Chain A
Amino acid sequence: MKRFIVPLLVIVAAYALLPRLFTADSTNSILLWLPLVLTVALGEFLVVVAGGIDISVGSIMGFSSMTVGIVFKANPSMPLPLAILVAVVCGLILGLINGALVARAKLPPLIVTIGTLATFRGLAFLIAKGETITGSYVPDSFTKLSNHGIPLGEVTLNWLAITSILCTAAFLWFTTNTALGRSIFAFGGQPEGALRRGIAATRIQTTVYALSGAMAGLGGAMYLSRFGQAQPGSAGSGFELTVIATVAIAGTKLTGGAGSIGKLVVAAIGVSALNVALSIQGISDDWQTLVYGSVLLVMVCADSFRRRSEVVV
């Protein structure tokens, strides 16, 4: 339990900032944010555990939400699962580009994903051809995913939240029960040692960036569902900061090799609650950026000062 203290503190801080968060309304607001944060953070988590970083997730969200919007515009009666599949495949392809640049071309992940951050955002503008996706293009059934679901009293566990919970379960299973999942931890902790054990860097890196892309793609669909509209410049913009802060708050070793998905969930709840608290308090986006940035810096310092963690499977 001691290990959960930091992510729990963030939740406490959010609720202390705004006691009103305890109400059903606020809880529903948090549940609007949580799926986006958690879904995209899951992918980022794997990248960080593998010793990398993916700065481009916000742009991938932007690109995938625009793509889904455009597809809806052309074909308003498209089945919802197909729309979600389009989003995931968009993200997967962009993630594979990141993966190829890092794993095959052996380029540093930070530089690669800063480059693709701009490139993918540019692609989002290109396919939008100057238009925005307005509410009229997005079917009601799609936006309903974010405010309908399983009612728990006054609180609704919306379909997006359920999706993100299912994703979390899948990631948990993947990272504890599969050889590939465990290899990511081994590779992140000691790449050279992993090579000696026959764990190939290209396979690990390609996998994590592809998965991060796919999750960001799914996050883009969630964005479109939650906001009902998307603009090429703003959809998902800056979301990489929220997500990386979440991964850091979860105590993930930022040099790679260790981290817990349980803590990631708590951190995602904390970040979502904080986000809602700051918004309700009328604190502007600029200040929110400052808060996330500072939290991230604090966590990086803590990670660096912390002695080797004693995390065991």
Chain B
Amino acid sequence: MVEEVESNGLADQTGLIASGISLSFGGQKVLDSVDIHLEPGRVHAITGENGAGKSSLAKVIAGIYRSESGSISFNGANLNLKDPRSALTQGITLIHQEPLIFPDLSIGENIFAGNLPKRGPKIDWDLVFQRSRALLDKLGSNLDVRTSAGTLSIADQQMLEIAAAMSYEAKVWIFDETTAPLTPTEVARLFGLINELKQQECAIGIVTHHMDEVFTISDDITVLRNGKKVVQLLTQNTTKNEVVSHMVGRELDNQTQCAERTDQEIAFQIQNATGPGFQAVDFTIQRGEIFGIAGLVGAGRTELARAIFGITKPTSGQLKLDGQPYEVNNPGEAIKAGVVLVPEDRRGAGLCIEQSILDNTTLPGLNRFASKIGILSRNKAITTVLPKLDDLATKYQSLDQPVGQLSGGNQQKVVLTKWLLEEPKLLILDEPTRGVDIGAKADVHRQIRHLASQGVAILLISSDLPEVLSLSDRIGVMRKGEIVGTLAAAEATEALVVSLASGGQG
């Protein structure tokens, strides 16, 4: 069976064949002689860790980046993809993770932008609206094509991009992490569409690092690592574990490593606190303890974190840090007191994306790198920052590289480094590994444990239940703003936490 498919693959020139694709940015090789064959009527998952080069490969195929070498052919004919237009007109389309629409234009024009049908020298507006209506009908949407697109949800915006691609009658579709902003229902609808395209003999590529998606929808899998193709697999003949080990290229330590804790002094205490989004919250965290908070979305976890960090204020209750009353009016005071929050939204709230790694990491504590008269010492900053970054196995080219160029996992490591330099007493982590690939996740986990072993109290908020279970010494489960149960690591199971969080039978 396997051999049959592979021998067919060699002889078969149908579909899109990219071979020997290489790309570098600023001297760093992003893609190194990568081959991929997207066959008609098959879904090909392109997977790998963040920074492995999957999105770059997709962008080369869509004509957004130009490959430095190699060739791309479709059904045996060589393509010259010099810009997105040439890819589009040859039936290759890329659906991006974040849709970008034209807010001031009508929905119909949004779908046909760059491809407006003409009658004689004039745009045929009747046809624009008629055809966009038909496309949206096909996608099961009843949006009014004549209204402006300004207020659409992300899912609807994505649908406009899909409709736009359909208007080109695309034969090659690449979906780049398109499920990230979607709800489960919307994901199901998208997968339905992908299956339909498959029926129509389109060649489909999906860029994703979610194993569940890979195994739900794909027929073939190509794994990239550090810009190189590692392996191509048939989905039906492989397992998640095999794919993951190809992605990471090393063994993961994902095992629980909770040493038995001896009683330590209490670092942080919150007593009967009520505030916006939470009520009657009561817990303590010892020095060196990881206290996980689990709960469904909207259970009040983030609200609690924001109140502790001084963004909002608890209306009642008492907070103590190192035995001293802890009352702060804003995050600045919280940081000064030794409480640090690593926010969920890295790009928006955690980093200055255009600034260098060095600038980002030294920002909160600039004074520490300054001489008496306030002149910053670059050497002092570098010698402080470097070991911390290396502790986390951060991958970067130079400390002067803008953090925007780093992959998601490495960006998160920069955020962590920044706050570690503050030597916090209490570190609040809000979804520390969301959108981070498996390898980087393990690095971040290791660092969290390392910090705890140095005596930092850690409040871990995460929707990733296995993460909470494997990292935490104790777990508080929140539901509707209250902590409905506190479990020790030894007794906590996924089932127990879920039943507490959802209010099921415990």
Known contacts: A195-B84, A198-B88, A311-B148. The answer to whether A257 contacts B114 by CB under 8 A is no
CB-CB under 8 A from A258, the residues of chain B are 104
**Contact indicator A190/B96 (Cβ below 8 Å):** no
Given the complex of chains A and B, what is the CA–CA distance between A192 and B86 in angstroms?
Answer: 17
Smallest Cβ-Cβ distance to A178: which chain B residue: B123
Which of A9-17, A122-130, A145-153, A179-187 forms contacts with chain B? A179-187
How far apart sit A144 and B101, CA to CA, in the bound complex (Å)? 49
Q: Judging by beta carbons under 8 Å apart, are A312 and B147 in contact?
A: yes
> Given A196-B84, A196-B96 in contact, is the A253-B104 Cβ separation under 8 Å?
yes
Interface residue A177 (Cβ < 8 Å from any Cβ of B): yes
B105 touches A193 (CB 8 A): no
Nearest-Cβ distance from residue B354 to partner chain A, whole angstroms: 15
Query: Chain A, 227-262, contact with B by CB distance < 8 Å: what is the 0/1 string?
Result: 000000000000000000000000001000110000
Majority secondary structure, B binding face: loop
Give chain A residues whose Cβ lies under 8 Å from the Cβ of B161: 196
Contact A308 B113 (CB under 8 A): no
Taking beta carbons and an 8 Å cutoff, which residues of B are in contact with A? 64, 83-89, 94, 96, 99-106, 109, 113-116, 118, 121-123, 125, 146-148, 150-151, 161, 164
- Cβ contact within 8 Å between A257 and B125: no
A198 x B84 contact (CB < 8 A): yes
28 pairs, CB–CB < 8 Å, chain A vs chain B: A177-B122, A182-B123, A185-B104, A185-B105, A186-B105, A186-B109, A190-B102, A193-B99, A193-B101, A194-B113, A195-B84, A196-B64, A196-B100, A197-B113, A197-B164, A198-B85, A198-B87, A198-B88, A198-B89, A198-B114, A199-B114, A200-B83, A257-B102, A308-B103, A308-B104, A310-B148, A312-B105, A313-B105
- C-alpha gap A309/B149 in the complex (Å): 11
Pick the 9 closest A-B CB pairs, nearest first.
Answer: A198-B85, A193-B100, A197-B114, A258-B104, A189-B102, A177-B122, A186-B113, A308-B150, A312-B106
Contact call B100/A190, Cβ cutoff below 8 A? yes
Contact size range, A: 20 to 34
**What 19 additional pairs, Cβ within 8 angstroms, besides A189-B102, A197-B115?**
A177-B122, A178-B121, A182-B113, A182-B116, A186-B113, A186-B114, A189-B103, A194-B114, A196-B84, A196-B100, A198-B115, A199-B113, A199-B114, A200-B85, A308-B104, A310-B148, A311-B148, A312-B146, A313-B109
Q: Which residues of chain B come closer than 8 Å to A194, judged between CB atoms?
A: 102, 113-114
A253 to B123, CA, bound (A): 24
State whether B85 touches A192 (Cβ < 8 A). no
B147 touches A190 (CB 8 A): no
Within 8 A of B (CB), among A80-118: none
